């Protein structure tokens, strides 16, 4: 993984001291909250429902044991003993004190971490396939590209005051594990007929109040031109963005209003300007960064056999372990979705255990996923049983990857100032309703995603079953949506009809699932059945 050089470290250290002075001035009353707010947001510090919340960047979801231990230390020392992994592969803390925030940033800087651009109108933490560098189906490791884009755009003056936040994802496999087309700008690495590496480029996606799936605006962009092309996209948006209307500032609105063709034409025109200016990065710079992502020293000649004599272990392997590119190795998914738990939450003790296990079994690498789970990407198959035993003892061997209880949920009204309804209790009650393992396995892949407001942090638009919490005359109300996908078969979920109260939405989900079981044909996932039969049979089951 990438390691800071002296320039990176100096920049992050300087930023900590700059923020320390800003906090000092705020506490002394030299600046008011209107003046301070944009400064704290540029350092990932929000004021939430109960306290300050700090969002820490985990670039493309990759981190190591030292960093995880520091995250555990921060949870224990400065917060209330836990952290919360988010849908952008970040981690956030919910109970931060303003006067301690600079010390936390200094602690993060000591392990090459920060909270820069995790909020505000900036290019946010770049997300990627959580299996990058390990996946059997990838063309190459997409993280050097993500890191290059991160370095090129962080602190770039043209991108420091964007019209609104801007989200980028990078993958290099046919299977989309990063909700690619729900991003402002989405990059999928492909090879052309000559075998050259390049990008399929998508633009204009995003969820929130006005959801759009990104359009493909380039079939193939030579890889070396990616920064010039990104600059062109951002400049077209920066030039035309509706800064007069907060609801129309995201790039997806501009792409929609200009139209796919006109947006593409303007980007291509701007791109030619950048090509003439020679803003592409030097190959040596890519090579420098890529050197940090060389594969770990995988052992040769390992067996692919797994002793499956323990049925509980075999079940975990079947659900939580996926194929690795190196013979004898596997990718292990750690579910942060225990039935009755809070999706994405992890205690300081569990963080430390995962750090130990990553060090012992996964070449010191950990990944955070956009589905609020963790991954150990490089585990010898021979070590899986020992890994599973250690995870099981810590309550981290849940078996539910992509099943009905593997629910994405935003913090909702329990923590968030923007939310209108609670998300977590709904997720907990649905998980409890479907807790039976045999039932979960019988239902198969079913991705439920819950948001507590229209900002859609819980990705309800991409839920095979989506739930949106709204405020109806001061009470929580939940709308049910069906048919969304954040995978390579991206689609937007549709609202089924009138909403429900908290108990009602759980019953409605169960009626939906039971109708699927009646209608499904052999081998069909929930989403396949929905797409085949349409909304009406489900509406009939939901509303009678």
- In this structure, what token pair is assigned to residue 365? 């690498």
Which of 109, 384, 476, 529 is close enough to bind other proteins by CB under 8 A? 476
Q: Check binding of 111 to other proteins (CB under 8 A).
A: no
Please state the closest distance from residue 431 (CB atom) to other proteins, in A. Answer: 12
Number of residues that bind other proteins (CB under 8 A): 29
Number of alpha helices (DSSP H) and beta strands (DSSP E) in the chain: 17, 20
- In this structure, what token pair is assigned to residue 116? 């820069």
Give which of 512, 519, 459, 520 is closest to 484, Cα–Cα. Answer: 459
* Helix H or strand E encompassing 375: strand 374-380
For residues 256 and 93, what is the distance between their CA atoms, to the nearest angstrom? 35
- In this structure, what token pair is assigned to residue 499? 């909403």
- Asked if residues 376 and 391 have their Cβ atoms less than 8 Å apart, the reply is no
- In this structure, what token pair is assigned to residue 236? 């077209």
Q: Check binding of 424 to other proteins (CB under 8 A).
A: yes
Coil, helix or strand for 106?
helix
Q: Check binding of 51 to other proteins (CB under 8 A).
A: yes
Which of 73, 80, 494, 539 is close enough to bind other proteins by CB under 8 A? 80
Of the two residues 31 and 111, which places its CB atom closer to other proteins in the complex? 31
Among positions 59-78, residues that touch other proteins (CB under 8 A) are none
Q: Check binding of 500 to other proteins (CB under 8 A).
A: no
Which of 96, 336, 346, 450 is close enough to bind other proteins by CB under 8 A? 96
Please state the closest distance from residue 412 (CB atom) to other proteins, in A. Answer: 9
Stretch that binds other proteins, among 146-154, 246-254, 270-278, 421-429 (CB under 8 A): 421-429
Stretch that binds other proteins, among 89-97, 181-189, 321-329, 484-492 (CB under 8 A): 89-97
- In this structure, what token pair is assigned to residue 370? 């956009």
- Asked if residues 182 and 213 have their Cβ atoms less than 8 Å apart, the reply is yes
Please state the closest distance from residue 80 (CB atom) to other proteins, in A. Answer: 6
Give which of 71, 12, 5 is closest to 358, Cα–Cα. Answer: 71
Stretch that binds other proteins, among 120-128, 243-251, 473-481, 489-497 (CB under 8 A): 473-481
DSSP at 494: E
Q: Check binding of 422 to other proteins (CB under 8 A).
A: yes
Of the two residues 213 and 419, which places its CB atom closer to other proteins in the complex? 419
For residues 198 and 184, what is the distance between their CA atoms, to the nearest angstrom? 19
Render the burial of 425-444: b for 16+ CB within 10 Å, e for the rest.
bbbbbbbebbeebeebeebb
Q: Check binding of 50 to other proteins (CB under 8 A).
A: yes
Of the two residues 12 and 346, which places its CB atom closer to other proteins in the complex? 346
Using only the alpha carbons of the chain, give its radius of gyration.
23
Q: Can you state the angle between helices 502-519 and 536-543, rounded to 10 degrees?
A: 130
* Residues whose CB is less than 8 angstroms from the CB of residue 18 and which lie 6 or more positions away in sequence, other chains included: none
Of the two residues 50 and 243, which places its CB atom closer to other proteins in the complex? 50
Q: Check binding of 414 to other proteins (CB under 8 A).
A: yes
Please state the closest distance from residue 76 (CB atom) to other proteins, in A. Answer: 15
Q: Check binding of 413 to other proteins (CB under 8 A).
A: yes
Of the two residues 52 and 329, which places its CB atom closer to other proteins in the complex? 52
Give which of 188, 334, 163 is closest to 247, Cα–Cα. Answer: 163
Which of 21, 99, 158, 219 is close enough to bind other proteins by CB under 8 A? 99
Backbone angles phi, psi at 110, to 5 degrees: -70, -15
Q: Check binding of 517 to other proteins (CB under 8 A).
A: no
Q: Check binding of 528 to other proteins (CB under 8 A).
A: no
- In this structure, what token pair is assigned to residue 8? 């990176």
Q: Check binding of 489 to other proteins (CB under 8 A).
A: no
Q: Check binding of 342 to other proteins (CB under 8 A).
A: yes
Q: Check binding of 326 to other proteins (CB under 8 A).
A: no
- In this structure, what token pair is assigned to residue 435? 């807790």
- The residue ranges that bind other proteins (CB under 8 A) are 26-27, 29, 32-33, 47-52, 80, 95-99, 342, 413-415, 419, 422, 424-425, 428, 474-476
């Amino acid at each position: 993984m990438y390691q800071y050089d002296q320039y990176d470290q100096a920049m992050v250290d300087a930023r900590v001291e700059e923020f320390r002075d800003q906090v000092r001035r705020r506490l002394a009353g030299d600046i008011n909250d209107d003046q301070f707010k944009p400064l704290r947001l540029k350092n990932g510090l929000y004021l939430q429902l109960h306290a300050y919340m700090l969002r820490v960047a985990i670039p493309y979801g990759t981190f190591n044991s030292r960093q995880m231990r520091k995250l555990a230390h921060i949870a224990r020392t400065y917060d209330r003993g836990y952290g919360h992994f988010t849908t952008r592969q970040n981690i956030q803390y919910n109970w931060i004190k303003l006067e301690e925030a600079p010390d936390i940033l200094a602690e993060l800087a000591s392990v090459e971490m920060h909270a820069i651009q995790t909020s505000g109108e900036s290019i946010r933490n770049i997300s990627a396939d959580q299996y990058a560098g390990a996946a059997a189906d990838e063309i190459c490791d997409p993280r050097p590209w993500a890191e290059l884009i991160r370095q090129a755009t962080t602190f770039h003056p043209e991108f420091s005051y964007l019209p609104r936040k801007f989200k980028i994802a990078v993958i290099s496999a046919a299977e989309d594990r990063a909700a690619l087309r729900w991003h402002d700008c989405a990059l999928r690495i492909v090879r052309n007929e000559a075998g050259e590496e390049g990008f399929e480029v998508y633009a204009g996606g995003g969820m929130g109040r006005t959801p759009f799936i990104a359009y493909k605006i380039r079939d193939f962009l030579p890889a070396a031109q990616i920064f010039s092309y990104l600059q062109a996209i951002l400049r077209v948006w920066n030039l035309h963005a509706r800064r007069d209307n907060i609801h129309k500032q995201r790039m997806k609105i501009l792409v929609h209003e200009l139209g796919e063709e006109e947006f593409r034409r303007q980007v291509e025109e701007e791109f030619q300007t950048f090509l003439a200016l020679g803003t592409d990065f030097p190959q040596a710079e890519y090579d420098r960064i890529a050197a940090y992502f060389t594969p770990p020293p995988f052992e040769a000649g390992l067996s692919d056999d797994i002793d499956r004599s323990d049925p509980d272990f075999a079940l975990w392997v079947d659900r939580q372990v996926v194929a690795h590119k190196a013979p004898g190795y596997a990718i292990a998914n750690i579910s942060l979705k225990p039935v009755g738990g809070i999706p994405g939450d992890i205690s300081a003790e569990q963080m430390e255990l995962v750090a130990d296990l990553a060090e012992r079994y996964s070449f010191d690498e950990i990944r955070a996923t956009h589905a609020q789970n963790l991954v150990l990407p490089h585990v010898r198959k021979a070590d899986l049983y020992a890994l599973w035993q250690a995870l099981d003892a810590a309550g981290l061997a849940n078996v539910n990857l992509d099943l009905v209880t593997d629910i994405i949920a935003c913090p909702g009204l329990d923590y968030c100032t923007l939310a209108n309804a609670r998300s977590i209790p709904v997720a907990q009650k649905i998980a409890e309703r479907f807790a039976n393992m045999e039932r979960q396995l019988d239902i198969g892949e079913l991705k439920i995603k819950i948001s507590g407001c229209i900002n859609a942090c819980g990705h309800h638009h991409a839920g095979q079953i989506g739930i949106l919490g709204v405020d109806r005359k001061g009470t929580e109300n939940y709308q049910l949506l069906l048919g969304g996908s954040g995978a390579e078969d991206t689609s937007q979920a549709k609202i089924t009809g009138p909403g429900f109260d908290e108990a009602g939405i759980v019953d409605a989900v169960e009626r939906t699932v039971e109708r699927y079981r009646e209608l499904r044909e052999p081998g069909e996932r929930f989403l396949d059945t929905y797409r085949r039969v349409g909304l009406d049979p489900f509406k009939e089951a939901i509303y009678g």
